[in-house]
Structure 1
């Protein structure tokens, strides 16, 4: 997760003090939105303030155990260099690569910055677009913390269902692109590769090895602590906002309004949820708590799954990664697979 940093120009006649710069950065965070919402409730509807606080606090406390485990897992994966295993999924026969890319897409401990040079390096080394597409479709949908947070908010059935959908959508997209490539499509998918050197990211080397006993090396112990703190703060701030928003949703949005739009059986509510989910993207940490609130208000399980899948595929980091590396026709294929996959996933999840 990208750390915030302040850059004060030495040439500025009135440099911003460090404390002031830090305050300005804090104002841009989810903490500010959460506090602002609570202040608005306290001022406009003081009688409901304690109910909102209690609801959000209890939900956050319930999910805390999942957050702790997710943060420990992510820190361990980063400290050991486990992303090398993901790189190795792109070696060998194309069919094998597609299968492994879809599976590892849900396990990769990459931030939105790191995935760009990682994929760029693999494409430059000759990894087929079919395997890359499988990874790109699966990766935004699920990862260790998303799985645990989804389980905490919506239950394990929903979390496991989303994980299965992520791998299935990755496989379908990979083999769909493989079929089109066999007919001459996507002969030159890449734009000119772009650098991410400003972020300090680089693609892992295929000949590297994970160091599972990271505690034996001081540098890796430092890496573990840094990742634990940064990811812990990241997840905590977003989930605090998510549960405050869920409390507002449950307390103030009429249930019949939700039920009319995305409730009930049939394909229409699921398709509407997918189409709404794409432009109204909520990251994978905020979406589960909000969907839990919507389902309490009458949203169907299939529509909730459709909304979540479409929203994840259309995330700004995911789309930026695809757009920065490949040509428009590949980008359009990615979005088309994402939307259609979201609708089909919602229908199947509703039936099951």
Structure 2
């Protein structure tokens, strides 16, 4: 009953999110992504972080694109900025987050996603000549994405997509795929939330992830990695944790660290770069999550 009511309350956000993502896919808006990797390094880092934090592309979908960019010499700093911000926010996730955790939390997470990308991008740029980032690519990077994209981001967007039959088909297929995906994960997440609220004593959560100071925030960042299902399923989970005493700062650290270290996001990085670069990616994620948690705790 709880899960059904929660899904019904979230339904308008799900519908709008599905239609928005389907439009962006059908029109080919993703082709604008390549523009972020042109120009001077600072511009590339900022644009890559912005596009990563706002674009609706799954992590594995960009593997072929990123592999091609790295192969032709695109700076790792800009790619790092995109990698860090991309799994954290997109139009669908913003709407789902705002519908459950509030517009303020969704906006803060969006800002944190872009900020994390910029932090990691400029961090990679600053240490570009150190052993950590020297020769970052694997010898034979895996260029196949789990989304089945062969040559992405190479055409011109068609904003009036309905004039092209093939793009209408893409719109329908993408809408159906995303609708089923969101309903499946959110239904599971709301069931988990109901079980947590019913059977996990609130004082446990309050004792572990509540209270003042940096401790709960750091713990939230480290708990986020193994406990994170995916960006959509995490929203009801965090809602339940907050209701049971988790601090706002720990909640933000949880979703930032968990999003970047989730399996789809991590695979996208692991497939292309050497372990030391992957370790730097995770290090930036934890550092950024703690900073985001501290900032949100101070202003929430």
Which category of TM-score, normalised to the shorter sequence, fits these structures? Answer: over 0.9
Question: Contact 1:121/1:203 (CA < 8 Å) preserved in 2?
Answer: no
User: Could you report, residue by residue, the CA deviation over 1:137-184 in whole angstroms, capped at 9, with x for unpaired residues?
Assistant: 000111111111110110001000000000001001101100111557
Q: Which residue of 1 aligns with 2:259?
A: 312
- Say which SS state the counterpart of residue 225 (structure 1) adopts: helix
Partner Cα distance (1:131, 1:58) in 2: 42
Change (3 A) 1:193 1:97: same
Partner Cα distance (2:182, 2:243) in 1? 24
Distance 1:203 1:276 in 2: 37
Match of 1:165 in 2: 112
Q: Deviations over 1:73-92 (max 9, x none)?
A: 11001101111111111112
Aligned equivalents of 1:187 and 1:204: distance in 2?
27
TM-score normalised by length of structure 1? 0.82
- What are the Cα deviations for residues 283-329 of structure 1, in whole angstroms up to 9, with x where unaligned? 10011111111111111110111111111011101111111101111
C-alpha change, 1:184 and 1:293, in structure 2 (3 Å) is closer
Quote the residue 2:144 is aligned against: 196
Q: Is the aligned partner of 1:249 residue 2:196?
A: yes
Question: Alpha-carbon deviation of 1:225?
Answer: 0.3
Contact 2:58 2:87 (C-alpha < 8 Å) held by counterparts: no
Q: Spell out the pairing of 1:171-182 with structure 2 (5 A cutoff).
A: 171-182=118-129
Say whether the 8 Å CA contact 1:274–1:342 is kept in structure 2.
yes
Cα deviation, residue 267, structure 1: 0.6
Match of 1:339 among 277, 281, 286: 286
User: Given the alignment of the two structures, is residue 56 of structure 1 paired with residue 7 of structure 2, yes or no?
Assistant: no
Note the C-alpha offset of 1:205: 4.5
Tell which has more relative contact order, 1 or 2 (C-alpha 8 A, sep 6+): 2
Structure 2 segments unaligned to the other structure (5+ residues): none
User: Deviation of residue 197 (structure 1)?
Assistant: 7.0
CA distance in 1, matches of 2:145, 2:171: 22
- 2:169 counterpart residue number: 222
| Equivalent in the alignment of 1:139 | 86
In 2, Cα distance between equivalents of 1:236 and 1:135: 27
Q: CA RMSD in A?
A: 1.4
Alpha carbons 1:81, 1:209 under 8 Å: kept: yes
Contact 2:84–2:281 (CA under 8 A) maintained in structure 1: yes
Structure 1 equivalent of residue 43 of structure 2: 96
User: Structure 1 residues 290, 197: closer, same or farther in 2, change over 3 A?
Assistant: closer
Q: How does 1:49-128 map to 2 (within 5 A)?
A: 53=1, 55-128=2-75
* Equivalent-residue separation in structure 1 for 2:282 and 2:170 (angstroms): 35
Runs of 4+ in 1 over 6 A off after TM superposition: none
1:165–1:345 Cα contact (<8 Å) kept: yes
Matched position secondary structure for 1:269: helix
The 5 A counterparts of 1:286-297 are 286-297=233-244
Question: Which stretch of structure 1 is more off in the superposition, 276-285 or 103-112?
Answer: 103-112
- Contact kept? 1:119, 1:203, Cα under 8 Å: no
Q: CA–CA distance in 2 between the matches of 1:218 and 1:283?
A: 33
**C-alpha distance in structure 2 between counterparts of 1:183 and 1:198, whole Å:** 32
Structure 1 distance, partners of 2:143, 2:4, is 42
CA distance in 1, matches of 2:145, 2:235: 33
- Structure index of larger Rg: 1
Q: How many residues align?
A: 298
Q: State whether residues 74 and 144 of structure 1, in contact with CA within 8 Å, keep that contact through their aligned partners in structure 2.
A: yes
Aligned to 1:237: 184
Partners of 2:108 and 2:296 within 8 A in 1: yes
Structure 1: gaps of 5 or more residues: 1-52
Asked if the contact 2:81/2:116 (under 8 Å) is kept, the reply is yes
